[in-house]
């Protein structure tokens, strides 16, 4: 068997009976249909989808009311399945391979998905509020206008991910890699971003109010019109950053590197600039000192 590809084989009759018996017990107890049921293969997932009249996972039919809340998919190789609009709240997805999967408008509140692989997956408008995604791989995924508030993405790989207007308020992205991420107008307020890599990222108009960016690698980042007021940028590397018209009022830039950064028309009132060398920065119309 090719273990690099999903196993599409339908479950044998005995396994079908086991899954159906668990379904009946959950329904009788008023629980989610597949709560605590471990679906181990793509074939089992497809079989359940068809039996319940939820369409299929190939994208050929619409997923109507698919409910996998609190189901278990740990370590399953599911690949590019289509679960757009599905309910996976509280599901367990640790070490699961869902590369190129479609979760558009799906609900994944509080999922446990440590080291999940979502490379090139679609999560646009999905809700992952308080999800645990430490070590997740989201390289080249799209999360446009997704709800990732209070999500944990420690040490996650989000290189070249599309986070346009995504809500990451209060999220933990410490030590994550967001290089070349497209995060224009994204919400990072009060997020933990210490030690993150944001090199070459597009974060224009993004909100970093009171975010912790201590030691962050932000070389060549686009922060035009971004809101960084009250952010901690202690010893962050902002070399060659584009900070035109950005708001850094009351930001802590202690020991930050700003070599060749463009701070034209930036707001720097009450910013802490100890141990910062601005000699190579562009400072045209930059606003220093107390406002007013």
Residue 150 lies in domain = 133-292
Could you read off the pLDDT of 70-88 as tens digits, one per residue? Answer: 999 999 999 999 999 999 9
Q: What is the pLDDT of residue 1?
A: 45
pLDDT mean across residues, the chain: 95
| Domain presence at residue 188 | yes
For the stretch 91-115, pLDDT in tens is: 999 999 999 999 999 999 999 999 9
Phi and psi torsions of 149, nearest 5°: -60, 135
Q: Let me know if residue 265 belongs to a domain.
A: yes
Q: Let me know: does 80 contact 100? Beta carbons within 8 Å.
A: yes
Q: How many domains does the chain have?
A: 1
Are 171 and 130 in contact by the 8 Å Cβ rule? The answer is no
Write the pLDDT tens digit of every residue in 147-180: 999 999 999 999 999 999 999 999 999 999 999 9
39, 93, 108, 104: CA torsion to nearest 10: -80
DSSP state of 197: B
Would you say residue 90 lies in a domain?
no
Query: Any idea how long the chain is?
Result: 292
Q: Are the beta carbons of 122 and 143 closer than 8 angstroms? A: no
CATH number at 179 reads: 2.160.20.80
Give 60's pLDDT tier (boundaries 50, 70, 90): low
Does residue 2 carry a pLDDT above 80? no
């Amino acid at each position: 068997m090719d273990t690099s590809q999903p196993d599409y084989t339908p479950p044998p009759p005995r396994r079908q009976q086991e899954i159906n018996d668990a379904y009946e017990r959950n329904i009788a107890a008023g629980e989610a249909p597949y709560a605590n049921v471990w679906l181990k293969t793509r074939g089992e997932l497809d079989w359940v989808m068809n039996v319940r009249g939820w369409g299929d996972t190939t994208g050929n039919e619409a997923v109507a009311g698919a409910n996998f809340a609190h189901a278990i998919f740990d370590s399953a190789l599911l690949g590019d399945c289509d679960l757009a609009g599905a309910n996976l709240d509280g599901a367990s997805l640790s070490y699961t391979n869902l590369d190129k999967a479609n979760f558009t408008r799906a609900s994944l509140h509080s999922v446990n998905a440590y080291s999940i692989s979502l490379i090139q997956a679609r999560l646009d408008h999905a809700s992952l509020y308080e999800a645990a995604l430490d070590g997740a791989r989201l390289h080249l995924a799209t999360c446009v206008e997704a709800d990732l508030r209070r999500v944990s993405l420690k040490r996650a790989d989000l290189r070249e991910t599309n986070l346009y207007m995504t809500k990451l308020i209060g999220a933990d992205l410490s030590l994550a890699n967001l290089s070349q991420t497209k995060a224009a107008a994204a919400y990072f307020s009060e997020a933990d971003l210490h030690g993150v890599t944001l090199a070459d990222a597009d974060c224009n108009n993004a909100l970093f109010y009171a975010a912790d960016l201590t030691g962050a690698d932000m070389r060549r980042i686009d922060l035009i019109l971004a809101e960084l007021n009250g952010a901690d940028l202690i010893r962050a590397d902002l070399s060659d950053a584009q900070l035109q018209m950005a708001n850094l009022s009351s930001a802590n830039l202690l020991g930050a590197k700003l070599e060749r950064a463009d701070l034209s028309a930036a707001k720097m009132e009450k910013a802490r600039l100890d141990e910062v060398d601005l000699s190579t920065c562009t400072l045209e119309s930059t606003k220093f000192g107390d406002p007013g």
